[in-house]
């Protein structure tokens, strides 16, 4: 693992390939809700499996921990969905929160894996600290013969605000099939129309909103021959609301 001289990002490599860059002090416009992100993301063959600031959604950056509706604030980026608003219901507001890196705990860099524990503040649009987060990133299981590697992303969010926080998404605010929030990955544009399958036999658009242990998306690369599969496990949550999958390929 290599840190940059500015102390803003680190790179995890295996078998001569930079697999993931974690930018923990991003230079991001406020309207994109600044927060750490993992980008670039690559397979062991060097093929990209993410996109950064696509023209249609500049606030999408590889893999990020987000929240689209948090007590009126937007930790996702871009406009906020508001039911009944003109057009498609999205309105630009001065409600963008941000995630700010505090510190890393001592890091385990030995052997065949890298494990990093990070503390962050979630700061509201009114400059109040609302959430104390502990985030763990564990990069492991790189297998050149099988062409696979793994990332465990674990987070603990603690409300340090003076009042309860309401956590939601566009779907909880009235837009069907728009429950995007939480841990979010934007795939490469070459994967538009890619194959999606999920636990329980769901495929394609039918994966949207389902509950299950895993979901996977497979697509073909631009430039490099072949393709790849991203397999995501839902993991566990302490929340009373079950985890559901948000999946689009268009």
Residue 198 sits in the same domain as residue 158: no
Residue 167 sits in the same domain as residue 203: no
Ranges 20-24, 77-81, 112-116, 192-196: which has the least confidence: 112-116
Residue 110 sits in the same domain as residue 12: yes
Residue 193 sits in the same domain as residue 180: no
Residue 146 sits in the same domain as residue 198: no
pLDDT band at 106 (very low <50, low <70, confident <90, very high): confident
Residue 47 sits in the same domain as residue 129: yes
Domain end: 134, 159, 187, which one? 187
Between the alpha carbon of residue 126 and those of residues 69, 81, 87, 94, 97, the distances in Å are: 15, 20, 28, 10, 8
pLDDT at 6 over 80: no
pLDDT band at 250 (very low <50, low <70, confident <90, very high): confident
Q: Of 83, 131, 247, 124, give the one whose Cα is nearest residue 180.
A: 247
Residue 176 sits in the same domain as residue 194: no
Q: What is the pLDDT of residues 153-208, one digit of tens each?
A: 999 999 999 999 999 999 999 999 999 999 999 999 999 999 999 999 999 999 99
**Residue 202 φ/ψ, nearest 5 degrees:** -75, 145
Q: Calculate mean pLDDT across residues 122-135.
A: 99
Domain that holds residue 157: 2-187
Ranges 116-125, 187-196, 209-218, 237-246: which has the least confidence: 237-246
1/237: higher pLDDT: 237
Q: How many CA atoms lie within 13 A of 186 on its CB side?
A: 23
pLDDT at position 208, please? 95
Q: Of 159, 189, 157, give the one whose Cα is nearest residue 62.
A: 189
Residue 250 sits in the same domain as residue 179: no
pLDDT mean across residues, the chain: 95
pLDDT band at 1 (very low <50, low <70, confident <90, very high): confident
Which SS3 state, helix, strand or coil, does residue 145 take? Answer: coil
Residue 174 sits in the same domain as residue 213: no
| Spatial separation of the C-alpha atoms in residues 114 and 62, rounded to whole Å | 19
Domain end: 187, 203, 220, which one? 187
pLDDT at 110 over 70: no
Domain end: 157, 187, 217, which one? 187
**pTM, full prediction:** 0.95
Give one DSSP letter per residue of 94-140, joined into a string.
S-B-EEEEEEEPPPB--TT-EEEEEEEEEE-TTS-EEEEEEEEEEEE
pLDDT at position 133, please? 99
Residue 131 sits in the same domain as residue 230: no
Domain count, the chain: 2
Residue 49 sits in the same domain as residue 31: yes
Q: What is the pLDDT of residues 25-56, one digit of tens each?
A: 999 999 999 999 999 999 999 999 999 999 99
| Spatial separation of the C-alpha atoms in residues 246 and 250, rounded to whole Å | 13
Judge residue 234's burial from the number of C-beta atoms within 10 Å of its C-beta, 0-12 exposed, 13-18 middle, 19 or more buried: middle
Residue 168 sits in the same domain as residue 203: no
Contact between residue 198 and residue 220 where contact means Cβ atoms under 8 Å apart? no
Contact between residue 87 and residue 79 where contact means Cβ atoms under 8 Å apart? no
pLDDT band at 219 (very low <50, low <70, confident <90, very high): very high
């Amino acid at each position: 693992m290599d840190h940059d001289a500015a102390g803003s990002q680190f790179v995890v490599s295996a078998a001569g390939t930079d697999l993931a860059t974690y930018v923990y002090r991003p230079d991001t416009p406020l309207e994109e809700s600044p927060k750490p992100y993992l980008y670039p993301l690559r397979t062991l063959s060097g093929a990209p499996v993410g996109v950064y600031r696509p023209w249609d959604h500049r606030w999408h950056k590889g893999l990020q921990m987000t929240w689209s509706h948090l007590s009126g604030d937007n930790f996702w980026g871009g406009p906020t969905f508001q039911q009944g608003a003109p057009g498609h219901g999205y309105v630009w507001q001065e409600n963008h929160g941000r995630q700010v890196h505090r510190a890393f705990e001592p890091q385990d860099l030995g052997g065949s894996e890298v494990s990093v524990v990070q503390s962050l503040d979630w700061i509201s649009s009114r400059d109040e600290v609302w959430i104390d987060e502990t985030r763990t990133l564990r990069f492991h299981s790189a297998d050149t013969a099988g062409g696979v590697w793994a990332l465990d992303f674990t987070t603990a969010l603690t409300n340090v605000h003076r009042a309860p926080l309401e956590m939601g998404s566009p779907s909880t605010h009235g837009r069907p099939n728009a429950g995007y929030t939480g841990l979010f990955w934007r795939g490469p544009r070459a994967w538009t129309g890619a194959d999606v399958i999920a636990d329980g036999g769901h495929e394609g658009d039918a994966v949207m909103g389902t509950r299950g242990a895993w979901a996977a998306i497979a697509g073909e690369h631009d430039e490099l021959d072949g393709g790849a599969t991203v397999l995501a496990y839902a993991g566990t949550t302490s929340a009373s609301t079950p985890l559901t999958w948000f999946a689009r390929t268009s």
